[in-house]
Amino acid sequence: MAALPAIAARAEVIRHHRQQGGQVAAVLPVHAPRALLRAYGFLPVEVWGPPGVRTSDGASHLQPYVCSIVRNALSFLLSGGLDATDLILVPHACDSLQGLGSILLDFIKPRQPVVPLYFPRSDGAGAQRFLAEELRRLATRLGGISSRAPAADEILQYVVDEETGDRLLLELHEGRRQLPLTNADFYRLVRSREYLPREAFETAARQALAMRHPDSAPGKTLLLSGVVPEPTSLMAALDERQVQIVADDTLCGRRRVYPPGRSRDPFERLAQSWLSGPPDSTRGSSMAARSDYLVRQVAASGARGVVFYLVKFCEPELFYLPTLRKALQRKGVPSVVLEVDLNDALSQQMLTRLDALLEMIP
């Protein structure tokens, strides 16, 4: 395996951005307009939990049946983990994030402005127009907070630039089999997009793509679906077993690799791009769209099995699970479900189940 190109740590990137006079936006899952934030001078830094925070702070606001992404994010905020941010963007990905956004706005009222963003679930023609208009409203809000007023052309440029980032991300995912990286390193690389400025991410991605090796021969191959590859002990466990994740279908991963938009209006273009992204539970895609897509990914990547790595209490993901597993079963693709809390280590029982899956695949 080759060494991963150097990637700056999150804290360092934030510090550097602030030193340059930039502002930082804490961005909760799942879909967020990175380009728009950048156009207004914000560095988007995503908050998927994070794992391992003291959850007692959040426990006085949230019931125990709320997922650990939301619980940890709130705990992280309350314990000062987001002090270096100037804005909290809360996309409406699910009922739990809806609740969190609302609690932040109505009760907790943190120092930073809390900005919710609704993602449309309608299949109809009005969805794109609605989303474009919501993005315009968001831009106005960002302008108010940052005191910046980029012109439409400037915003469009950011959108186009981020599309390049998306294209590189797609290349990394599609070329995963040829990348001589461990699973842990691969995910460190693709997930660096969660906080790196686009330019830095592009550099790291291009370096990694230059390492592609046609003869790279992975051992057993899997597709990883679910929410987020945390706790990362799963990666270590797979690396130890010489298993390669050759395709990704996680919420934090490939489900956010959007195709480019077409419009010359930056907001319309962003909306077009988002709405034509891969089928996704949090967008309420149809069961057929989700399962067809997953089956296609498995076939295209040559994955022999699927791991659903879910965060406990994640309703959107849990709803699709039976349909997806049935579709895989019809194709003879075995799968396993590992449901985790971000704060727990991977249990022995889960490893045993993972091993049982691995035994079933060539």
Query: Which residues in this chain contact ligand SF4 in the complex, by CB under 6 A?
Result: 29, 67, 69-70, 93-94, 96-97, 227, 282, 311, 314-317
Any idea what DSSP says for residue 276? T
Q: Are 20 and 39 in contact (CB under 8 A)?
A: no
Question: Measured from the CB atom, is 277 or 284 closer to other proteins?
Answer: 284
CB of 82 to other proteins, least distance (A): 19
User: Total residues contacting other proteins (rule CB under 8 A)?
Assistant: 53
How many CB atoms neighbour CB 254 within 10 A?
A: 24
Q: Which strands make up the sheet holding 42-46, listed edge to edge?
A: 42-46, 23-27, 87-92, 114-118
Q: Which of left, alpha, beta for 305 (phi over 0: left; psi -120 to 50: alpha)? A: beta
Output the CA torsion sign for 133, 137, 138, 140.
positive
Q: What's the rounded Cα separation, in Å, for the pair 31 and 253?
A: 11
Interface with other proteins (CB under 8 A), residue from 12, 83, 123, 292? 123
Kindly indicate which of the ranges 63-71, 225-233, 234-242, 342-350 contains the residues binding other proteins, using the contact rule CB under 8 A.
63-71
Q: Taking CB under 8 A as the rule, does residue 10 contact other proteins?
A: no
CB of 206 to other proteins, least distance (A): 38
227 binds, among ligand SF4, other proteins, none (CB under 5 to 8 A by kind): ligand SF4
Q: Taking CB under 8 A as the rule, does residue 306 contact other proteins?
A: no
Among candidate residues 151, 94, 55, the one with its CA nearest the CA of residue 281: 94
E-state strands within 33-86: 42-46
Q: By CB under 8 A, what part of segment 132-171 binds other proteins?
A: 133-134, 137
Interface with other proteins (CB under 8 A), residue from 54, 110, 319, 353? 319
Q: Taking CB under 8 A as the rule, does residue 105 contact other proteins?
A: yes
Give CA 294 to chain center in angstroms: 17
Q: What's the rounded Cα separation, in Å, for the pair 361 and 121?
A: 37
In this structure, the dihedral spanned by the alpha carbons of residues 282, 286, 287 and 291, taken in order and rounded to 10 degrees, is -90
Q: Taking CB under 8 A as the rule, does residue 323 contact other proteins?
A: yes
Kindly indicate which of the ranges 105-113, 153-161, 341-349, 354-362 contains the residues binding other proteins, using the contact rule CB under 8 A.
105-113
Q: What's the rounded Cα separation, in Å, for the pair 161 and 163?
A: 5
Q: Taking CB under 8 A as the rule, does residue 73 contact other proteins?
A: no
CB of 283 to ligand SF4, least distance (A): 11
Both tokens assigned to 250: 């996680």
What are the C-alpha distances in Å from 124 to residues 57, 121, 127?
A: 41, 9, 6
Q: Taking CB under 8 A as the rule, does residue 330 contact other proteins?
A: no
Q: What's the rounded Cα separation, in Å, for the pair 328 and 204?
A: 34
Q: Taking CB under 8 A as the rule, does residue 95 contact other proteins?
A: yes
Question: Measured from the CB atom, is 94 or 333 closer to other proteins?
Answer: 94
CB of 33 to other proteins, least distance (A): 16
Q: Taking CB under 8 A as the rule, does residue 361 contact other proteins?
A: no
Question: Measured from the CB atom, is 246 or 270 closer to other proteins?
Answer: 270
Residue by residue, DSSP assigns 293-329 as: HHHHHHHHHT--EEEEEEETT-HHHHHHHHHHHHHHH
Q: At CA 60, angle to CA 54 and CA 66, rounded to 5?
A: 80
103 binds, among ligand SF4, other proteins, none (CB under 5 to 8 A by kind): other proteins
Question: Measured from the CB atom, is 70 or 235 closer to ligand SF4?
Answer: 70
Binding mask 249-288 for other proteins (x = CB under 8 A): --------------------------------x--xxxxx
108 binds, among ligand SF4, other proteins, none (CB under 5 to 8 A by kind): other proteins
Q: Which of helix, strand or coil describes residue 28? A: coil
Residues that bind other proteins (CB under 8 A): 60-63, 65-66, 92, 94-96, 98-103, 105-108, 116, 118, 120-127, 129-130, 133-134, 137, 281, 284-288, 312-313, 315-316, 318-323, 325-326
